[in-house]
Every structure is written in C-alpha cells, then in structure tokens.
C-alpha cells in the first residue's frame, strides 16, 4: 500500500494553525471582550486586557461608557472583572482599593476642578466615592469570590452624579488596584490580607456622551503624559520640604 507522506513544513504549519485556534477558542470561552482580566504572577495580582498603558507609570488604562445604557444613562456595570479557571483557589476573595481622586476632561486637559462624583458599589454593600477632593465612603470594597473552578467573573455598578443637576458631557477617570481580602469580623465587608500582593494601580476612564474622536483624545490625554500628582502628594511634598528647611535652620 502506498503511504502518503506530508511534508514537514506543512505539518508544522498545521500545528501552528491548530495552536492559534485552540488559544483563541480558550480565550473566547473564558474571557469577555472589554473586561478587566485578573491574573496572578509570582504571587502578585495583575490585570490584562487594557487598551492602553500610561507613559512613565506603565499603569493600565481600561475604558468604560456611562451611555451604554446597561444601567441607565449615568451608570454602567461594564467593564466586568474576570479570570481564567484555576487562577485562584476556591473561596479566595478579591477586592479593590480606591486611590487618589476623580479627574475630569475639559476638552483639552485633565483637571480635578469639578463637582462630579463617581460611586462604586461593592459586592458586600460597600459604597466607594471618588470626587475632586479624594476618596470617601469605603476605600476598600469586595469584588468577588472564586468558585469551584477557581475563577472570578463579576460586574460592579459605577454611577456618575454631580452636586447640582445632571453630569455634563465629558470624560472622567478613577484609580484602583486589586487586593487579596478576607471577611471582616462583622462579616459585612472585607479587610486586606497577604495571600496575594496587591496589583499595580490602574485607571478606569469613563465616556459620558463624547464622540468617539473626542473620547479618543481624552484617553490619549491620559495615556501619553506622565502621571499627574494627586493633591495629597503635593501636601506630602510640601511637608517634606518644610521639614528639610527646619532641619537646615536648626543646624545653622
């Protein structure tokens, strides 16, 4: 019987195509486009799937839209947070830490001179608020708990509001990081633990009625410049300079 011998180059090509197809199918089966993918690398929480990284800091930038109407015109439950299976042990609790303040896009630059507030509801009833002054309410909140397959897939609700009237069209961003947590003593929230190291901070930028071109400009206004120091950072810097001056005067 005559045997058919496939050229080695063709075999390698078929294996390559097969591998690509398998990886794509796996990703589609476990992950959702636009979500914040959670991972653990060398014992540290991390994120994947960002559209951009900020120059200088390298912080990931994820995008959201208050006008997607998933929760009304001024609230959204996207992006979600998810992971592959077996990333976590069953029962692991992952939370979020709120950082910094709320920044708004004025059409040309980012500013924290505004009257808007973004509120995030945690999975155990936490209410976390960012405004121009900083974070208030619960600075730590619950994202979710890994199930029997060792994965997390959760959608939390973000809402934008102002002190007087409806939010104006524009863009906003907040800063978060992921933390490893456990139930607190009253079982109504979580506290951080040290099972996994906290992730690097990352940004979540929201569109509120801008055109795609205008929102693109806002995203690049965050991605293409070095991080803007928070007001609290300025206060620490001034305090440090004051201490240095006092020490120099004392030595003199």
pLDDT digit string (tens) for 215-239?
999 999 999 987 766 555 444 444 4
Confidence check: pLDDT of 182 > 50: yes
In a domain, 247, yes or no: no
Confidence check: pLDDT of 30 > 50: no
In a domain, 28, yes or no: no
Domain hosting residue 136, numbered range: 36-240
Strand blocks (E) in 106-156: 110-111, 116-121, 127-131, 134-137, 140-145, 153-154
Rounded Cα distance between 193 and 36, Å, is 22
Confidence check: pLDDT of 150 > 70: yes
In a domain, 91, yes or no: yes
In a domain, 19, yes or no: no
In a domain, 25, yes or no: no
- pLDDT in the model for residue 247: 53
- 79-100 tens-digit pLDDT: 999 999 999 999 999 999 999 9
Confidence check: pLDDT of 25 > 80: no
In a domain, 73, yes or no: yes
Going by C-alpha positions, the residue among 40, 43, 30, 127 that lies closest to residue 80 is: 30
Predicted structure pTM score: 0.79
Confidence of residue 165 (pLDDT cuts 50, 70, 90): confident
Q: What average pLDDT does range 58-87 have in this prediction?
A: 95
In a domain, 40, yes or no: yes
Confidence of residue 245 (pLDDT cuts 50, 70, 90): low
In a domain, 26, yes or no: no
Taken in order 202, 208, 212, 215, is the CA torsion positive or negative?
negative
Q: For 91, left (φ over 0), alpha (ψ -120 to 50), or beta? A: left
Tally of structural domains, the chain: 1
């Amino acid at each position: 019987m005559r045997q058919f011998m496939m050229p080695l180059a063709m075999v390698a090509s078929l294996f390559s195509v097969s591998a690509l197809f398998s990886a794509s199918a796996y990703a589609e089966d476990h992950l959702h486009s636009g979500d914040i993918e959670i991972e653990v690398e060398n014992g540290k929480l991390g994120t994947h799937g960002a559209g951009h990284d900020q120059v200088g800091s390298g912080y990931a930038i994820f995008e959201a839209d208050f006008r997607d109407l998933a929760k009304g015109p001024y609230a959204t439950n996207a992006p979600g947070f998810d992971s592959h299976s077996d990333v976590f042990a069953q029962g692991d609790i992952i939370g979020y830490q709120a950082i910094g303040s709320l920044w708004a896009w004025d059409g040309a630059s980012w500013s924290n001179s505004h009257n808007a507030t973004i509120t995030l509801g945690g999975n155990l009833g936490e209410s976390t608020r960012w405004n121009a002054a900083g974070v208030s309410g619960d600075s730590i909140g619950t994202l979710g708990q890994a199930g029997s397959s060792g994965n997390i897939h959760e959608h939390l609700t973000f809402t934008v509001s102002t002190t007087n009237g409806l939010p104006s069209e524009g863009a906003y961003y907040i800063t978060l990081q992921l933390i490893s947590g456990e139930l607190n003593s009253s079982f109504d929230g979580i506290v951080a633990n040290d099972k996994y190291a906290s992730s690097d901070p990352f940004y979540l930028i929201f569109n509120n009625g801008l055109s795609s071109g205008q929102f693109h400009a806002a995203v690049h206004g965050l991605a293409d410049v070095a991080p803007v120091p928070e007001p609290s950072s300025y206060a620490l810097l001034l305090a440090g300079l004051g201490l240095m001056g006092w020490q120099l005067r004392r030595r003199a």
